[in-house]
Amino acid sequence: MAYLKTLVVYYSRSGTTRKIAEALSEALNANIEEIVEANGRAGFFGYVRSLVEAIQKNPSAIAQSKSDLSSYDRVVIGTPVWAWSVSSPVRAYLMANKEHLPEVAFFCTLGGKGSESVFGQMQSLAGKAPLAVYAVTAGEVTSARYGAGLAAFAKALEPSVSAA
Ligand SMILES: Cc1cc2nc3c(=O)[nH]c(=O)nc-3n(C[C@H](O)[C@H](O)[C@H](O)COP(=O)(O)O)c2cc1C
Protein backbone atom coordinates (compact mmCIF):
# COMPACT_ATOMS: atom_id res chain seq x y z
CA MET A 1 0.00 0.00 0.00
CA ALA A 2 1.36 3.44 -0.91
CA TYR A 3 -0.04 6.80 0.25
CA LEU A 4 -1.29 9.15 -2.42
CA LYS A 5 0.84 12.26 -2.32
CA THR A 6 -1.36 15.35 -2.20
CA LEU A 7 -0.65 19.07 -2.60
CA VAL A 8 -3.07 21.79 -1.50
CA VAL A 9 -2.60 24.99 -3.55
CA TYR A 10 -4.57 28.12 -2.78
CA TYR A 11 -4.84 31.88 -3.11
CA SER A 12 -6.32 34.01 -0.34
CA ARG A 13 -6.71 37.80 -0.29
CA SER A 14 -8.09 38.13 3.23
CA GLY A 15 -7.38 34.82 4.98
CA THR A 16 -10.60 32.82 4.59
CA THR A 17 -9.40 30.47 1.86
CA ARG A 18 -6.07 30.13 3.69
CA LYS A 19 -7.85 28.86 6.79
CA ILE A 20 -9.63 26.14 4.82
CA ALA A 21 -6.47 25.28 2.88
CA GLU A 22 -4.58 24.77 6.14
CA ALA A 23 -7.34 22.61 7.62
CA LEU A 24 -7.46 20.53 4.43
CA SER A 25 -3.73 20.08 4.34
CA GLU A 26 -3.95 18.67 7.86
CA ALA A 27 -6.97 16.46 7.11
CA LEU A 28 -5.40 15.08 3.92
CA ASN A 29 -1.87 14.88 5.28
CA ALA A 30 -0.89 17.05 2.33
CA ASN A 31 1.78 19.58 1.52
CA ILE A 32 0.56 23.14 1.06
CA GLU A 33 1.54 26.02 -1.22
CA GLU A 34 0.17 29.55 -1.34
CA ILE A 35 -0.05 31.25 -4.73
CA VAL A 36 2.08 34.38 -4.41
CA GLU A 37 1.46 37.51 -6.45
CA ALA A 38 3.85 40.15 -7.72
CA ASN A 39 1.57 42.94 -6.44
CA GLY A 40 -0.60 43.27 -3.34
CA ARG A 41 -4.34 43.84 -3.55
CA ALA A 42 -5.22 45.29 -0.16
CA GLY A 43 -7.73 48.08 0.37
CA PHE A 44 -10.37 49.60 -1.86
CA PHE A 45 -8.22 49.74 -5.01
CA GLY A 46 -7.14 46.14 -4.49
CA TYR A 47 -10.80 45.17 -4.19
CA VAL A 48 -11.76 46.99 -7.38
CA ARG A 49 -8.80 45.52 -9.28
CA SER A 50 -9.81 42.04 -8.11
CA LEU A 51 -13.36 42.64 -9.29
CA VAL A 52 -12.28 43.94 -12.71
CA GLU A 53 -9.80 41.09 -13.30
CA ALA A 54 -12.45 38.53 -12.37
CA ILE A 55 -15.13 40.07 -14.59
CA GLN A 56 -12.70 40.37 -17.51
CA LYS A 57 -11.41 36.84 -16.84
CA ASN A 58 -7.80 38.04 -16.78
CA PRO A 59 -5.03 36.11 -15.01
CA SER A 60 -2.80 38.13 -12.65
CA ALA A 61 1.01 38.10 -12.39
CA ILE A 62 2.04 35.32 -10.00
CA ALA A 63 5.37 33.88 -8.92
CA GLN A 64 6.37 30.55 -10.39
CA SER A 65 5.16 27.57 -8.36
CA LYS A 66 7.76 26.08 -6.01
CA SER A 67 6.26 22.60 -6.12
CA ASP A 68 7.15 19.95 -8.67
CA LEU A 69 3.69 18.75 -9.65
CA SER A 70 5.10 15.60 -11.24
CA SER A 71 5.87 14.29 -7.75
CA TYR A 72 2.18 14.48 -6.67
CA ASP A 73 -0.75 12.13 -7.30
CA ARG A 74 -3.33 14.88 -6.87
CA VAL A 75 -3.59 18.58 -6.29
CA VAL A 76 -6.41 20.27 -4.38
CA ILE A 77 -6.85 23.85 -5.60
CA GLY A 78 -8.68 26.57 -3.64
CA THR A 79 -9.89 30.03 -4.58
CA PRO A 80 -12.10 32.78 -3.24
CA VAL A 81 -15.12 33.53 -5.46
CA TRP A 82 -14.79 36.92 -7.16
CA ALA A 83 -17.76 38.19 -9.17
CA TRP A 84 -19.02 34.62 -9.63
CA SER A 85 -15.59 33.78 -11.07
CA VAL A 86 -12.38 32.09 -10.09
CA SER A 87 -9.90 34.62 -8.62
CA SER A 88 -7.33 35.98 -11.09
CA PRO A 89 -4.31 34.47 -9.24
CA VAL A 90 -5.87 30.97 -9.33
CA ARG A 91 -6.79 31.51 -12.99
CA ALA A 92 -3.11 32.34 -13.60
CA TYR A 93 -1.97 29.24 -11.69
CA LEU A 94 -4.26 26.92 -13.66
CA MET A 95 -3.21 28.46 -16.97
CA ALA A 96 0.51 28.15 -16.11
CA ASN A 97 0.31 24.59 -14.79
CA LYS A 98 -2.43 22.97 -16.87
CA GLU A 99 -0.08 20.61 -18.68
CA HIS A 100 1.44 19.30 -15.43
CA LEU A 101 -1.61 18.80 -13.23
CA PRO A 102 -2.18 15.32 -11.78
CA GLU A 103 -5.72 14.47 -10.63
CA VAL A 104 -7.48 17.56 -9.27
CA ALA A 105 -10.07 18.55 -6.67
CA PHE A 106 -11.40 22.08 -6.16
CA PHE A 107 -12.64 24.15 -3.25
CA CYS A 108 -13.80 27.73 -2.93
CA THR A 109 -14.80 30.17 -0.22
CA LEU A 110 -17.50 32.73 -0.90
CA GLY A 111 -19.99 35.18 0.49
CA GLY A 112 -22.89 33.08 -0.74
CA LYS A 113 -23.25 32.78 -4.52
CA GLY A 114 -21.20 31.70 -7.52
CA SER A 115 -19.52 28.42 -6.57
CA GLU A 116 -21.00 26.39 -9.44
CA SER A 117 -19.77 28.76 -12.13
CA VAL A 118 -16.37 28.90 -10.41
CA PHE A 119 -16.03 25.12 -10.40
CA GLY A 120 -17.04 25.06 -14.09
CA GLN A 121 -14.36 27.64 -14.91
CA MET A 122 -11.73 25.74 -12.92
CA GLN A 123 -12.61 22.52 -14.73
CA SER A 124 -12.18 24.09 -18.14
CA LEU A 125 -8.95 25.87 -17.12
CA ALA A 126 -7.55 22.61 -15.70
CA GLY A 127 -8.75 20.63 -18.71
CA LYS A 128 -10.07 17.86 -16.48
CA ALA A 129 -12.96 17.05 -14.17
CA PRO A 130 -12.33 17.26 -10.42
CA LEU A 131 -12.45 14.22 -8.14
CA ALA A 132 -14.59 16.30 -5.75
CA VAL A 133 -15.54 19.91 -5.04
CA TYR A 134 -16.23 21.81 -1.83
CA ALA A 135 -17.75 25.27 -1.35
CA VAL A 136 -17.80 26.96 2.05
CA THR A 137 -19.09 30.40 2.99
CA ALA A 138 -16.97 32.99 4.76
CA GLY A 139 -19.65 33.04 7.46
CA GLU A 140 -19.20 29.32 8.08
CA VAL A 141 -15.43 29.79 8.27
CA THR A 142 -15.65 32.73 10.69
CA SER A 143 -18.01 30.89 13.00
CA ALA A 144 -16.06 27.60 12.65
CA ARG A 145 -19.07 25.74 11.22
CA TYR A 146 -17.16 24.11 8.36
CA GLY A 147 -16.06 20.89 10.07
CA ALA A 148 -18.70 18.55 8.62
CA GLY A 149 -18.39 19.91 5.07
CA LEU A 150 -14.63 19.75 5.18
CA ALA A 151 -14.71 16.19 6.53
CA ALA A 152 -17.11 15.14 3.73
CA PHE A 153 -14.79 16.65 1.11
CA ALA A 154 -11.78 14.89 2.63
CA LYS A 155 -13.76 11.64 2.68
CA ALA A 156 -14.69 12.06 -0.99
CA LEU A 157 -10.97 12.14 -1.70
CA GLU A 158 -10.45 8.75 -0.08
CA PRO A 159 -9.02 6.24 -0.44
CA SER A 160 -5.97 7.98 0.94
CA VAL A 161 -4.03 4.81 0.15
CA SER A 162 -3.71 3.04 -3.16
CA ALA A 163 -2.82 -0.50 -3.99
CA ALA A 164 0.92 -0.71 -4.60
C1 LIG B 1 -13.50 41.33 -5.50
C2 LIG B 1 -14.41 40.39 -4.74
C3 LIG B 1 -15.53 39.84 -5.37
C4 LIG B 1 -16.36 38.95 -4.67
N5 LIG B 1 -17.41 38.37 -5.35
C6 LIG B 1 -18.17 37.43 -4.72
C7 LIG B 1 -19.23 36.75 -5.42
O8 LIG B 1 -19.48 36.93 -6.61
N9 LIG B 1 -19.96 35.85 -4.72
C10 LIG B 1 -19.75 35.59 -3.40
O11 LIG B 1 -20.47 34.75 -2.84
N12 LIG B 1 -18.75 36.20 -2.72
C13 LIG B 1 -17.95 37.11 -3.34
N14 LIG B 1 -16.91 37.72 -2.66
C15 LIG B 1 -16.64 37.32 -1.27
C16 LIG B 1 -15.46 36.34 -1.18
O17 LIG B 1 -15.60 35.27 -2.09
C18 LIG B 1 -15.32 35.74 0.21
O19 LIG B 1 -15.28 36.75 1.18
C20 LIG B 1 -14.10 34.86 0.32
O21 LIG B 1 -14.25 33.96 1.39
C22 LIG B 1 -12.81 35.64 0.51
O23 LIG B 1 -11.73 34.74 0.56
P24 LIG B 1 -10.27 35.17 1.08
O25 LIG B 1 -10.42 35.71 2.47
O26 LIG B 1 -9.48 33.90 1.06
O27 LIG B 1 -9.73 36.19 0.14
C28 LIG B 1 -16.08 38.62 -3.32
C29 LIG B 1 -14.97 39.21 -2.69
C30 LIG B 1 -14.14 40.07 -3.38
C31 LIG B 1 -12.91 40.64 -2.70
Per-residue pLDDT of 94-148, as tens digits, reads 999 999 999 999 999 999 999 999 999 999 999 999 999 999 999 999 999 999 9
CATH number, domain containing residue 65 = 3.40.50.360
User: Amino acid letter at 34?
Assistant: E
- Percentage with pLDDT > 70 across the chain: 95
pLDDT value for 38 = 87
Q: What would the pLDDT profile of 121-132 be if each residue is shown by its tens digit?
A: 999 999 999 999
Note the pLDDT of residue 4: 87
For residue range 16-74, list pLDDT tens digits in order.
999 999 999 999 999 999 999 988 899 999 999 999 999 999 999 999 999 999 999 99
Q: Confidence class of residue 158 from pLDDT cuts 50, 70 and 90?
A: confident
As for ligand 1, residues whose beta carbon falls within 6 Å of it are 12-18, 47, 50-51, 80-84, 109-114, 138
Host domain of residue 141: 2-162
What is the number of domains present in the chain? 1
Closest to 36 (Cα-Cα) out of 7, 5, 67, 75: 67
Task: Note whether 95 and 58 are within 8 A (CB).
Answer: no
Residue 1 CA to ligand 1 centre (angstroms) = 40
Q: Which atom of ligand 1 is nearest to the CA of 19?
A: 26
Contact predicate 50/13, CB 8 Å:
yes
Residue among 110, 137, 143, 145 to mutate when testing ligand 1 (max atoms within 8 A of CB): 110
d(CA 74, CA 154): 13
Q: Which atom of ligand 1 is nearest to the CA of 112?
A: 11
Residue 164: its pLDDT value, please? 46
Q: How far from each other are the two terminal CA atoms of the chain, in whole angstroms?
A: 5
Burial environment of residue 121 by CB neighbours within 10 A (0 to 12, 13 to 18, 19 or more): buried
Position 163 pLDDT exceeds 60: no
Phi and psi angles of residue 49, each rounded to the nearest 5 degrees, phi first: -60, -40
Number of neighbours of residue 123 by Cβ within 10 angstroms: 16
